[in-house]
Each structure stands twice: as structure tokens, then as C-alpha cells.
Amino acid sequence: MKGGDVTDAGRVGIIGAGQLGRMLALAGYPLGLQFAMLDPNSAACGGQVAPLTVAAFDDQEALAALARQVDLVTFEFENVPVAALEFLADRVEVFPRPAVLETAQDRLREKECFAQLGIPTPAYRAVGSEGELQAAAAKLGLPAVLKTRRLGYDGKGQLVLRRESDLAAAWQVLGGAELILESFVSFAREVSQVAVRGRDGAMVFYPLAENTHRDGILHLSLARAGDPLQTLAEDYTRRIMEHFSYVGVMAFEFFQTEAGLVANEIAPRVHNSGHWTIEGAETSQFANHLRAILGWPLGSTELVGQAAMLNFIGELPATADLLQYPGLHLHAYGKSAAPGRKVGHATLRLPAGVDLPAALRRLTDALEMR
């Protein structure tokens, strides 16, 4: 089957069985699809809605067994070993292709890719020793952000360096891994562009989402039509997707600065900042990801009114407290409560013309008072 072909495949394998895998399956069942997941965690919440193979991501016997069960494979977690996806790709089609994951997993390679494609980035330097950290800090200036090149997410694996005395302590914490030092970006907003590219190269873009983080974890996303930076975000995202002949959903996170958009990172998968699309768009990011990888026509990304997504971290509020709010749609992930864990989200969808930011503030203020 060639890259632009349409498939009537009905069985999709998902590497990773967290909430993203769960939501992919829930979006796919109305389309007549079936799912099988692989995850090392026997309690992974995706296992509540689809058959789950409990195995390490690099367990070749388990991967081969999964490939025999399905028609194609996707992934919901960007820290899957690239070698595991390449092993699968010798047996079954894998989308997105492993090459994009190989770049996205390494912050240095990712920044170099952005620069190659003419996408602005913070100034950066690779760091492999404490001496190189000192030299990079002197070159870039402080404040700066020291990050592991691999395996960091939700604020993990990074430290803000504000003064020279911070360098030695930061090296003690992160110095066991390959690192990158990035200039600190003074920004007005953090925004993300969620986009979809099909096998035939067709692309559609969701409205730009404005994101707010707490402790490095996404707190809320607000999506409204007509953002003045939409066209620029689409341009940068298109460059990446075409460069990799990408298939599926991708999220591109940016900082808005006085000079425009500065790239933060890509996520080659469905993304937390696109959860609002389940109720807030004509076609959700999850349904569109499945359409893309199957070679089916992509769905409309038009807003249905206006929408915002609120993450629940650690524990869920009482269901009755949430359902009293008009326009609120609750998604509980079936996870146990734990500090820092994403256990659910709510989409607040309201008609156009209603003051959505004000309604969102009332909601968040009320929840934080309880």
C-alpha cells in the first residue's frame, strides 16, 4: 500500500495506553474501528476501553504479536523507543513515521531542524560538561533554561538558571544526561497549533489555542477563531509536516514575542492542548488523526461556537460540582488520584458572542475555592 492510498483497515494498534490512546479508541469506535494497545503499565487507562498487551515498549515478541493483530499502528506517547517503531514498520504500516519521532525526542536535533526550515527558535547551545555549561551561559546570557535533550515533558528535566551561582547546582541535578541550554524567552502568550496531514498531503488546521501552564503542566487552553497569528503558525507547522511527509495529528507549541512566534517544541501525536476539539470542533483531533492515518478524507476543523479546555491535575472535582455549569463537558480518564497526574479534563463550550474568558474564570475560581 502506498503512502497516499486509502485503506479499509479496521484494526488499529496504539503504542501507549494512556488517556490519549483511550480517547483515540473512543473516537474510533463510531467509525467502525477496533483497537489493540501495548503499554508496560497494567493499570493504563486505555486498557479500560480496548484490549491491552502489558509489555515493555521494546519487547520485540510483544510488538510482533501486536503487528499480527492489526492493520496499522500509531502511538500516543513520544518517548516510545524509535527502534521499536522501526521494528514494527518492517511488519505493518506505522504513522506518523518513526523519523519524526527521532527528531522530536532530542531537543537539540529538534531545534536544528527548526533552524534549517527557517523557523525562529530561542538561541541555544549543546552542553556536555560543566565547563561547556559555563561557556554556553556566558555566550547566551542569563536567565536561561537548562534542559535534558531527551525524556523531559510536563516541566520535567529542566531548570531555569537566573544567576551564575545557579550553574553548578543545576549541573549536579541534570549533569548525568546530554543537555541543551536555551535563552530564556520573554513572551506574551504560549500558543499551540494543532494540525492534521493526510496520506495524500492534504492539511487542515485547528484554530490556534492559547495555553496557560502551572508547574510546567498544561492548565487550560482557550480556542477562538481569528487569532492574528494563525496564518504564521500554520506556515511554520506546514513546513515541518511537509519536511517529514508527516501523516496524522501534530501539535506545534510556540511563544508569542514582540517579534512574532518563536518555536518551543513539536509533539508528533494528538495533544493535550487539542482536547477542546472533542466538543468544540466539527471533527475532533482524535477522529482526524484516525482519518489521516487510514487515508480517509480529513474532517472540518471549524469551531462549534467557542471552546476552552481545563485540565484536572492530581484529583477530579466532584462530578456534580462540574455538571451544574452550562456548556461544560466532563472527561474522566479512569485514573487514580496522584500528585501531578492528569486525571481528566473539562471542555467549556459556549455560543459565539458569549464572554468565554469570563465564564472560564468563574469556573476556575469556583473550583479552586472548594
CATH code, domain carrying 53: 3.40.50.20
Domain check: are 358 and 231 in the same one?
yes
> Which has more confidence, 151 or 267?
267
Domain check: are 172 and 201 in the same one?
no
| 158, pLDDT greater than 90 | no
Domain check: are 236 and 253 in the same one?
yes
Domain check: are 210 and 283 in the same one?
yes
Domain check: are 151 and 291 in the same one?
no
Compute the chain's Rg from CA coordinates. Answer: 20
Domain check: are 42 and 129 in the same one?
no
Domain check: are 367 and 222 in the same one?
yes
Q: Which three cell numbers stand for residue 120?
A: 525562529
Q: Which residues contact 30 (CB under 8 A, 6 or more apart)?
A: none
Say what the pLDDT of residue 153 is.
Answer: 60
Quickly state the pLDDT bin for 16 (edges 50, 70, 90): very high
Look over the chain and give the mean of its residue pLDDT values, rounded to a whole number: 93
Q: Choose among 341, 365, 347, 323: nearest CA to 273.
A: 347
Say what the pLDDT of residue 1 is.
Answer: 39
pTM for the model stands at 0.93
Instruction: Give me the domain span that covers residue 86.
Output: 1-94
- Identify the weakest region by mean pLDDT among 4-18, 48-62, 304-318, 330-344: 4-18
Domain check: are 28 and 146 in the same one?
no
Q: Choose among 285, 297, 286, 93: nearest CA to 200.
A: 297
Quickly state the pLDDT bin for 154 (edges 50, 70, 90): low
Residue 272 lies in a domain: yes
Say what the pLDDT of residue 177 is.
Answer: 83
Mean pLDDT of 134-140: 94
CB 314 within 8 A of CB 217: no
Say what the pLDDT of residue 137 is.
Answer: 94
Residue 105 lies in a domain: no
How many other β-carbons are positioned within 10 Å of the β-carbon of residue 264?
A: 21
pLDDT, one tens digit per residue, over 54-112 is 999 999 999 999 999 999 999 999 889 999 999 999 999 999 999 999 999 999 999 99
Q: Which residues of 207-220 are buried (b: 16+ CB within 10 A; e: fewer)?
A: bbbbbeeeeebbeb
Number of domains comprising the chain: 3
Residue 108 lies in a domain: no
| CATH code for the domain of 268 | 3.30.470.20
